[in-house]
Amino acid sequence: MFRIALVAAFTLAGASASANPAQWERAWPETDFSRSTVDFAEIMSGGPPKDGIPAIWEPEFIPAAEEARLDAREPVLTYEHEGEAARAYPIRYLMWHEIVNDVVGGVPIAVTYCPLCNSAMVFDARVNDAHLTFGVSGLLRHSDMVMYDRETESWWQQAVGEGIVGDYAGALLEPLPGWMESWAEFLERNPDGLVLDEPNWRRAYGQNPYVGYDTSARPFLYRGEDPPHGINPLARVVRVEDRAWTFARLREEGEIREAGVVLNWTPGQASALDSSTIAAGRDVGTVRVRDDAGRDLPHDIPFAFAFQAFFPDGQWMLGD
């Protein structure tokens, strides 16, 4: 049975919280609550208050070759932009900060990770002509982080990059090709790359506050439907737009070519949500997602329950 050291104290508060726009208006005076695309009853407190999980606003990087803290198996979220040094954002830091606001090649990006859904997404942080920066609201919807932008305090659904409350309700962030891989894989391919330096916060970097979460029976603070086809709610899947492939199928086949998508799985990446130390997590492997021409595609690697929650009419790619 899993334990969540960071948020266990907030479980009762989060689970019992009900939709209360009046209370939210006091905490969020700049948010336009007259504009919403979701049912407020689906939004609950995750425990920490606004910015209780501090996003990183001014990230600092060091040469990958100089990084000595990371174990070879530790997961990083990789982003590569043509003409720029590849960047690795270690999950050991995203676990405690969830959002990194960065600029790569002149493009503002939001690098995001929600441990409760295992959703790791990189977004173009521009909407029309506006450059947005994002923080962690402390709220959840379908157990997924609700982000907010500092410019209008609109609320955004992390897993899909959609504005759900406020001035930007209904707006969509453009997903960019980022992927989870082991530190060893990143370093081998990008010896001249950059890696996010350890943030200047007092956090137990390298430790997992969600011990045993991805082998537990139920998602944390989730009240939606379970996935169909007998798929475990906390099984990892690969999501490309509104399609999902299970890790179990991909591990068995090694490579899948379907619907214009090429998926490859290789061993060597530790689960960040297994053991108390991230580096000691069981091997869940790395997935690369490309099109038929070999170009990396935007995708996510959420738990199955999150795909079901946000894509109830999505397609489960189960093979024959």
48 & 173 share domain: yes
CA angle 194, 76, 221 (to 5 degrees): 140
pTM for this structure? 0.93
Give the pLDDT of residue 319.
86
Distance of CA 200 to the CA centre of its chain: 22
CA angle 137, 141, 142 (to 5 degrees): 145
For the chain, how many residues are written? Answer: 320
With respect to residue 198, please indicate whether it lies within any of the assigned structural domains: no
21 & 151 share domain: yes
With respect to residue 299, please indicate whether it lies within any of the assigned structural domains: yes
65 & 142 share domain: yes
Give the pLDDT of residue 23.
79
DSSP code of 65?
A: G
Query: Which of 163, 180, 197 corresponds to the end of one domain?
Result: 180
Comparing CA positions, the residue from 51, 53, 46, 101 lying closest to residue 79 is 101
216 & 175 share domain: no
Residues 6+ apart with CB under 8 A from 200: none
Give the pLDDT of residue 18.
47
With respect to residue 297, please indicate whether it lies within any of the assigned structural domains: yes
Tokens read off for 18: 């009900």
With respect to residue 106, please indicate whether it lies within any of the assigned structural domains: yes
- Judged on CB neighbours under 10 Å (0-12, 13-18, 19+), 320 is exposed
Residue 264: helix, strand or coil by DSSP?
strand
With respect to residue 30, please indicate whether it lies within any of the assigned structural domains: yes
Largest CA distance in the chain: 53
163 & 227 share domain: no
229 & 113 share domain: no
Give the pLDDT of residue 19.
59
240 & 288 share domain: yes
Give the pLDDT of residue 257.
97
265 & 176 share domain: no
Radius of gyration of the chain (CA): 18
Give the pLDDT of residue 10.
38
With respect to residue 21, please indicate whether it lies within any of the assigned structural domains: yes
Question: Residue 288's domain spans which residues?
Answer: 207-316
166 & 235 share domain: no
With respect to residue 264, please indicate whether it lies within any of the assigned structural domains: yes
36 & 145 share domain: yes
Q: Return averaged pLDDT per consecutive 10 residues of the chain, 320 residues in all.
A: 43 44 87 95 93 97 97 98 97 98 97 98 96 97 98 98 98 98 98 97 97 93 92 97 97 95 97 98 97 97 98 94
Query: Which of 180, 195, 221 corresponds to the end of one domain?
Result: 180
217 & 129 share domain: no
169 & 229 share domain: no
Domain count, the chain: 2
Q: How many CB atoms lie within 10 A of CB 264?
A: 16
Give the pLDDT of residue 284.
97
With respect to residue 67, please indicate whether it lies within any of the assigned structural domains: yes
